[in-house]
Amino acid sequence: MIFTEEMLQSMKKVEAAREANITYEPARMTAEEKEALLAEYHPDYKDAGFATIKTGPNKGEKAPVELVEVLEGHSRVLDLCVDLNKIDYDVDVLVIGGGGAGSSAAIEAHEAGANVMIATKLRIGDANTMMAEGGIQAADKPNDSPAQHYIDVMGGGHYVNRPELVRKLVMDGPSAIKWLNELGVEFDKDENGTMITTHGGGTSRKRMHAAADYSGAEIMRTLRDEVLNRKIPVLDFTAAIELILDDEGKAAGAVLQNMETGEVLVARAKCVVLATGGAGRMHYQGFPTSNHHGATADGLVLGYRAGAKLLYQDTLQYHPTGVAFPQQIFGALVTEKVRSMGAKLVNSEGEVYVHPLETRDVNAAAVIRECSTRGKGVSTPTGGKAVWLDTPMIDMIHGKGTLEKRLPAMLRMYLKFGIDMRETPILIYPTLHYQNGGLEIGANGMTCVENLYVAGEAVGGIHGRNRLMGNSLLDIIVFGRHAGQQAGAKCKETTVGKLSLDHVTKYDNELKKANAESNVPSPKLFPDYTRKL
Amino acid sequence: MEKMVNVFLYGKKYEVPAGLTIMEAMEYAGYKLVRGVGCRNGFCGACATVYRIKGDRELKACLACSTTVEDNMYVATLPFFPLIKEGYDIEKVRPDEQIMMQLYPEIYACVGCNACTKSCSQGLSVMQYIAHAQRGEYEKCAELSFDCVMCGICSSRCPAGISHPQVAMLARRLNGKYLSPESLHLTERCKEIEDGLCTEAIEALMQKPIAELKELYNNRDIEK
C-alpha cells in the first residue's frame, strides 16, 4: 500500500462522513469573508514573493521576484552577432508560440490571405492548452446570456478586468464554440445536440462545455491538424529570443534561435503576434506547477523590452487542486471538473470546510488555511500538507461508471501510480497554474507597440486579478482568432522599415543606470531540473 | 538513506532515486531536456519511450513523464517518429469510406498483429479503432481513439506502416463536424449576438459603476 498510516487513518474519517458530506451544502462565503481570507492566505498577498521593477514602462510597480529577475536579466542577443541584413524568413505575420492562441491566430491570419509562420520553442501543441482539462465557457444556453457571463467574469476578477476585453470575451464566446465545432472539435452533447454543460467555480450558469476531461487536448490537436492542413510553416524547437523593431519603432520580426543547434535566425515580419503563454515553470514562491515545460514568461520579457506595458503582472493563479501525492505527479492538475461533478473538499478530520465551487483564488487560500493555521491538513512524504478531494462521491451521486466516462484522464493519471480515485479520495494542494496578468492590449488586440499583437495567457486584463475556470480556453480562441484577423488585415497596409535591435541596447543601458544589471540569461526559455551537485 | 535503483539511459548506467519518473531520472542524471519533453503530465505525447527490464523478454512502451523508474530498466526515448499526415480541406471532405481509402490506404494492409494495441501508452484498443476506420465507422473510431495523445508508439511497431494517430485524428474531426448532431441553442445564440440582440445589455453593464456591479454579482442567482 502506497498510502502512509496517517493518510489511512484520516481516510477512514473521510469515508465515515462521506454520505453526510454528499448532501451537506456548505454556505458560500460573503464578499467580506472572501477578502479577509485572501488577504491572509493567498500567495499574491505575500510581500516576500515580490520585488519592484526598476526600469521600463512599469517602473516602480511590483512583480514576482523571479519575473523581475528575467525582466532585468541579460538579453541573449547582446552576446551574439546578429546580422539583421541577412533575413532568413520574410513573412507577413510571425506568430510566436504554438499553443491554442498561436494556432488560432495563424489559422485566421492565413484565412485573411497573409503569409504566416509559427515559431515555437517546443513542438506545436506542447502547450498549456493541451493540458486544459475541464472545459470552455460560453453563454449559449437559453437561461444564460453574454451579460450574465460578463457579471461572472468581472466579479471573479475582482472588478479590475478591462471591460472592453471582457465584452469581447463573452460576446464572441458562442461563435468561438461554433468555430471549433465546425473545425471538428468533439464537444460532449446529448443525442439532440444539446451541449452537456456544468458549473465551474464562480459561475452562475452551467456554461462549461467539455470534451470529457481532454477538453484542451481535443481543441489543441484539432487546431494543430488545421494548421498542418493549411500548410502553415511551423518552426519547432525554435525560440524567439528578442523582438525586432523597425526604424519607426514598429514591431518587425524576431531574432530566433534553434534550441538544439544554437543557430541564430532572423525573421522579418510586417506584424508579430506574441502567443507565448504562461509562467508556471518560473515556480513563483517555490510552488510546483501544472504548466508545460516551456512556460517561462518569455513573451512578457520580449514585449517589455520592446516597450509594451505589463498589466496585473503581480497576480497569479494557484489552482486549488494540484496533486499533492504521489510525488511523481506533484503539482499536476486535478481538473476543477472533479468539483463541478460533485466531489467536495474535505480536511483531515473528514469535514467539508468550504464550498467546492468558490472561485479559484478563494479555494486555494482556503486549502492553505486548512493546512496551516487550522492544522487540518494531512502530511505528505515530501514534507508538505494536503487536504482531500473526495472523488468517490462522483459515482455515488451520478451512478457507477460516471467518473470513468467523464474524467478518463484523471482516472488514468492516478491509476498509473496505483491509486483508484473511484474508490479512494485524493490528496491535493494548490499548484501554480495561470498567469492572470500579462501584456496590456487594446480592443484591437495590439499593444502600444505598433503591429505587436498579443493573444492567450501572455495577455493581461481580460481576467482581472483572478480567472474563472473555462475562460482561458475561451480567451485563447477568441483573442487568438482576433489577433490573427487584425494582423492579417494590418500587414496589408504595412511597410517594414530598417530593422533594428537598438531597443535592446537602450533597455540594457537603462538597467545599468538603475544598477539593475544582472547576468541571468533572459528570457529563461526552459527550466533547469538537472541535479545540482 | 534514499532507496536507489539502476537505470540504463540509452544503455548507459545511472543510479537514481527510486520513485522518480523516467523523465525526472534523466534530469537527475544530468540531461537538460529540450526534445522528448512537453506538457510533463501525460497529455502532449512528446515523451514516447520504450524500455525493457533486464531479464524480461517483453518490450514495453510508455510516456516518460508518467512512468516510474524500475531497477534494471533499459530506456530509449522516441522523441520523434515520422508519421504520415495527409492534408485535406475539412470543408470539402465527407464522412464516407472513400476518404480513408484516398488518404490513408495503408490501413487496409493491417495484418491484425495487434502490436499497436499492445504498445499503446494510453491503453487504447488501437487495432480495433483502425478496423472501424476501415469500415467508415467514424463515430466508433472517434470514441475508441478519443484518449489518444498521438505519441506515435503504435506506428513505430506497425508492420503495415499505418499512422494510427493521424487516421484517428481525421475520424474525430469528421465525427465532430459532420456526424454529431447540431447544437441548435448554439446556432441560435450566435445569430442573436450577430443580430445585435445582446449588445444593449452588455453596454449597459459596461457603463455601471463598480459598486453597482458588485451588487449585481453578490446577489446574482446561481443555477442549481
Same domain (yes/no): A414, A470? no
CB atoms within 10 A of CB B215: 12
Nearest CA in chain B to A294: B38
Is A304 in the same domain as A366?
no
Output the pTM of the full model. Answer: 0.97
> A363 Cβ partners below 8 Å, 6+ apart?
A201, A320, A321, A345, A354, A356
Short-list B149, B119, B114, B118, CA closest to B130: B114
Q: Which of A211, A259, A328 sits opposite B68 (nearest CB)?
A: A328
Between chains, do A531 and B28 touch, taking CB under 8 Å as contact?
Answer: yes
Q: B153 with B121: CB under 8 angstroms? A: yes
B142 vs A: CB within 8 A: yes
Going by the DSSP 8-state scheme, the letter that residue B208 receives in this structure is: S
Q: Is A62 helix (H, G, I), strand (E, B) or coil?
A: strand
- Which residue's C-alpha cell is 489518444? B148
Same-domain pairing of A493 and A378: no
CATH class of B97-179: mainly alpha
A412/B176 Cβ within 8 A = no
Same domain, A99 and A36: no
Note whether A122 and B46 are within 8 A (CB). yes
Distance CA B214, CA B197 (A): 24
Specify whether A271 is located in the same domain as A321.
no
Residues of A annotated as catalytic (active site), given as ranges: 319, 339
Classify residue A527: in a domain, yes or no. Answer: no
Which structural domain, as residue segments, surrounds residue A218? 87-315+436-502
Residue B54 near chain A (CB below 8 Å): no
Cα dihedral A155, A157, A159, A163 sign: negative
Which residue in chain A is spatially nearest to B28 when comparing CA positions?
A531
Please say which residue of A387, A417, A432 terminates a domain.
A432
For residues A275 and A382, state if they share a domain. Answer: no
Which neighbouring-strand residues pair with A467?
none
Residue A200 and residue A252 share a domain: yes
> Each residue's pLDDT tens digit in chain A (533 positions)?
589 999 999 999 999 999 999 999 999 999 999 999 999 999 999 999 999 999 999 999 999 999 999 999 999 999 999 999 999 999 999 999 999 999 999 999 999 999 999 999 999 999 999 999 999 999 999 999 999 999 999 999 999 999 999 999 999 999 999 999 999 999 999 999 999 999 999 999 999 999 999 999 999 999 999 999 999 999 999 999 999 999 999 999 999 999 999 999 999 999 999 999 999 999 999 999 999 999 999 999 999 999 999 999 999 999 999 999 999 999 999 999 999 999 999 999 999 999 999 999 999 999 999 999 999 999 999 899 999 999 999 999 999 999 999 999 999 999 999 999 999 999 999 999 999 999 999 999 999 999 999 999 999 999 999 999 999 999 999 999 999 999 999 999 999 999 999 999 999 999 999 998 889 999 999 999 998 87
Q: How high is the ipTM of this complex?
A: 0.98
Closest CA to A459 of A474, A442, A437, A489: A437
pLDDT at A1: 54
A23–B contact, CB cutoff 8 A: no
Q: Name chain B contacts of A148, Cβ cutoff 8 Å.
A: 220
Chain B CB contacts of A126 under 8 Å are 38-39, 44, 46
Regarding whether A263 and A128 lie in a shared domain, the answer is: yes
For residues A220 and A369, state if they share a domain.
Answer: no
Give the torsion sign (CA, A24, A29, A30, A33): positive
What is B4-77's CATH number, 3.40.50.800, 3.40.1360.10, 3.10.20.740, 2.60.120.260? 3.10.20.740
Question: Does residue A529 lie within any of the structural domains?
Answer: no
H helix intervals, A269-407:
298-305, 337-340, 360-371, 392-398, 402-406
Q: Are residues A335 and A310 in the same domain?
A: no
